[in-house]
Structure 1
């Protein structure tokens, strides 16, 4: 019998979990300082909600749950499932808010951490089961939401051990205006966004091929899109509004002014910490529910983004019956953990006791150490003393006390041998 975990999933050893706990604790501490409150939502959601057309390519990766009590095979395969495992935390959040908004403050600052599932091909840093870490600000219509989310998340990343991040910023409304100017019909913009989102993976040659062969774009439309986006790369931040308006004449004035407001906040923030930022006209974000500004955070340690999010003002209305302004940011928790090589050193003490020491004496020593607020574990002495100390160090212990019958040796740092 094969005892390995399912493909795309992992068993996590204590040292790995220690890193994960450290990262989550640092992120949680920062988000709590900003007023974000922890909530939890179920892993299972109604399949109709998960396949509502707002999840982009992720809707093809849903793990579906068979209906209970089927007595005959349905006419359609789609009728076999009525539930699915969530592929992100945003879609469940919108249902949560629709059900509970009357009991929540306005605006509501939400913090979530939990597993999500996607039935994709497992590869480096991509798993079928992985954890997401999200904050969302619901009920704030101004770009204060975007600016605060970016500030809080970059601070959380730095606290977790990833300073020196770069924020990339764009806007779905800008992309829509750009597409419209290039002759892309509104009903074709969804396909356009999905294909453009692959630019960093397949390059302009691949994007042009998919636009013309898969999405039915003309060569002139593909040329217009590429020329417009290329011309907007490397804009002078100080002249962002004028340059955007010149490049995309049909861009609504409020879109340009919102981007300026966010980039101004980013420029001020960058004066206080190690942080870079840029306007990136190629940034799309794959989810179909984004309605305004979108952003991603990159780090020199990886080519993939370590966090991303944006505004989704229309999504909550599907549950509540009326639109509510909302903006969110998701941290790539697994990628961050993989970037941090070593577990943090904690004050972990082993109470190493001989076999003839009574349990009450062993526990008394451990109790006194725990009263000092320290992490203490009792472990029986066995085998060669030096070899056991080496194993304790490998397991993450920083010091030990050796308890013999009627005697407790002074605390010693691991790596300093004691004669047996």
Structure 2
């Protein structure tokens, strides 16, 4: 791994000067913290070990979760704080070595969420400029808006989770949309009734049934996954199979929503028009109570765009897509990346993750937003 350069150090100094505390999380971290919040798919890319007591440890695969754990350890997780970092992270990659430099910032506890979102994006833009990269493009998505729209369509929870994970994964979104189309509905199979029964059962009882079946079959672990992990995955698939088609109007509204892209303000206008059409078709409820979360998500989107404009970002040059996401399960709102044209790997990537602190052990959710700066990619983009 290359060492931090003078340019890297100067960027950290700038962040410290504007109020970000420089943190140095330990390289060795509890593996469960990453797997629980980022998903089992991360396990195969982690460098794992164990301590003398058998507890599973890992070399930190990123610095967001270690920084969040550092914040929790201070004892006041709801208190506002901002951090910056620069250090080695370790994970298997398709290209490049398993050790590389990651910089970044994290903001916890700020209730003015849209302003904090805009600050993180603006700091990321400054970092890109600081490294001398002149052709980077800003891409935005909004998982909060996606969730609010899907909730208003009354799509089953299992499919909500599946579609949210699809964002940012090439081809999967299109395949799952096709699976949800009315034309894809199929007749019953020998095990359809069993899957439907599991979907309707008490979650703990259903998991116990699947674990018992695995035990009878002599299966205790597969690919590092325990019987309990396998049962959870099987039950998720059962929920998907038990509700594998949507009404035509609902499917049409969802497909139209996920096709929206453009600059943020034109995209917002398209979403407003779609909401009107979806209500007329009956896909969306006209109830004020059911519409409130979607209305709040739209207002947050508009407010964030206004803050970005006040910070000097050219919104006409920003690319927003309702289907855009990042391959981490813990995002709850804004997601964004700075990328070079024609190059998929981002220079900077981040977003909002308001539930991360609670999932890591705090008593309640805490507003949180941040981004990772991929230092080697920045250096390559300079040449």
**Which residue of the other structure, out of 134, 150, 153, is the alignment partner of 2:124?**
153
Equivalent-residue separation in structure 2 for 1:292 and 1:336 (angstroms): 26
Determine which structure has the larger helix proportion and give its number. Answer: 2
Q: Give deviations 1:351-371, integer Å, cap 9, x for gaps.
A: xxxxxxxxxxxxxxxxxxxxx
C-alpha change, 1:303 and 1:178, in structure 2 (3 Å) is same
Q: Please give the secondary structure, in 1, of the residue aligned with 2:73.
A: helix
Alignment RMSD (CA, Å): 3.2
C-alpha change, 1:197 and 1:210, in structure 2 (3 Å) is farther
Q: Give the number of equivalent residue pairs.
A: 306
- CA-CA distance at 1:109 after TM superposition: 1.1
- CA-CA distance at 1:22 after TM superposition: 3.8
Q: Give deviations 1:316-340, integer Å, cap 9, x for gaps.
A: 1233222221111111222112222
Q: Please give the secondary structure, in 2, of the residue aligned with 1:303.
A: coil
Equivalent-residue separation in structure 1 for 2:131 and 2:335 (angstroms): 23
Q: Does 1:321 align with 2:363?
A: yes
Name the residue aligned to 1:244.
271
Name the residue aligned to 1:365.
none
Name the residue aligned to 2:86.
113
Equivalent-residue separation in structure 2 for 1:161 and 1:275 (angstroms): 22
Determine which structure has the larger strand proportion and give its number. Answer: 1
Equivalent-residue separation in structure 2 for 1:291 and 1:152 (angstroms): 20
- CA-CA distance at 1:114 after TM superposition: 1.3
- CA-CA distance at 1:135 after TM superposition: 0.1
C-alpha change, 1:61 and 1:100, in structure 2 (3 Å) is same
Equivalent positions of 1:231-310 (< 5 A) are 232-234=260-262, 237-238=264-265, 241-248=268-275, 250=291, 252-270=294-312, 276-300=317-341, 302-310=343-351
- CA-CA distance at 1:307 after TM superposition: 1.0
Name the residue aligned to 2:382.
340
Equivalent-residue separation in structure 1 for 2:104 and 2:349 (angstroms): 10
**Which residue of the other structure, out of 196, 203, 206, is the alignment partner of 2:167?**
196
Equivalent-residue separation in structure 1 for 2:82 and 2:346 (angstroms): 23
Q: Please give the secondary structure, in 2, of the residue aligned with 1:305.
A: coil
C-alpha change, 1:205 and 1:291, in structure 2 (3 Å) is closer
Name the residue aligned to 1:383.
none
Contact 1:117 1:130 in 2 (8 A): yes
Equivalent-residue separation in structure 1 for 2:352 and 2:143 (angstroms): 9
The runs of 5 or more residues in structure 1 that have no matched partner are 1-9, 70-79, 342-420
Q: Give deviations 1:195-252, integer Å, cap 9, x for gaps.
A: 23213xx37655657879985474657765433211x2226x4455554344345452
Contact 2:332 2:353 in 1 (8 A): yes
Equivalent-residue separation in structure 2 for 1:131 and 1:187 (angstroms): 36
- CA-CA distance at 1:63 after TM superposition: 1.9
Contact 2:354 2:369 in 1 (8 A): yes
Name the residue aligned to 1:136.
106
Q: TM-score, with normalisation over the residues of structure 1?
A: 0.64
Name the residue aligned to 1:24.
8
